[in-house]
Amino acid sequence: MSDDFYLPDETVEWVAQKKSEMLAWVIQHRHDDDIPFEEFGDYADKVQETLMQADETWEQVWDGHNVQIQLKMFEADEVVWLFVLSLKAPVLNEETEGDVLVPILVLPTRHTVWLKRWLTGDMTQRRHMH
């Protein structure tokens, strides 16, 4: 099985537009004492675990595109939540059938209250959260 996949140009443009819109929304609504944007890269190693073992997974349809929102709590020096918004896209190659998750926005946060508006739709997974 190949790991290669492609997205149509219009889907790539849609992903870029949604990322821009979501970042603008985040800038307006996040708490002042939340994790600074400069530190977001420190959480890159948590994305795969969030995609594979989210505490909550929500599925929605945006502009005709299937999206998945996942939330996972990590505890170290403090409690941090990783919010991952992904496009759930069909694999478009000749060898594979199925879906691939294409992250649109990865957001570490200390607060989840301001994200509640995004945690809607069909909840497809819920794990016990500490």
Per-residue pLDDT of the chain (130 residues; tens, 9 = 90+): 345 667 888 989 999 999 999 999 999 998 899 999 999 999 999 999 999 999 999 999 999 999 999 999 999 889 999 999 999 987 766 666 778 888 999 999 998 888 888 888 888 877 755 4
The answer to the question of residue 4 being in a domain is no
The answer to the question of residue 41 being in a domain is yes
Picking from 20, 16, 3, 4, the residue whose alpha carbon sits closest to that of residue 87 is 16
The answer to the question of residue 119 being in a domain is yes
Q: What is the pTM of this model?
A: 0.84
Number of domains in the chain: 1
The answer to the question of residue 79 being in a domain is yes
Residue 15 lies in domain: 9-126
Residue in this structure with the two tokens 């199925």, named with its chain if needed: 98
The answer to the question of residue 93 being in a domain is yes
Q: Report the alpha-carbon distance of residue 23 to residue 29 in Å, rounded.
A: 10
Torsion sign across C-alpha atoms 68, 69, 75, 77: positive
The answer to the question of residue 23 being in a domain is yes
The answer to the question of residue 3 being in a domain is no
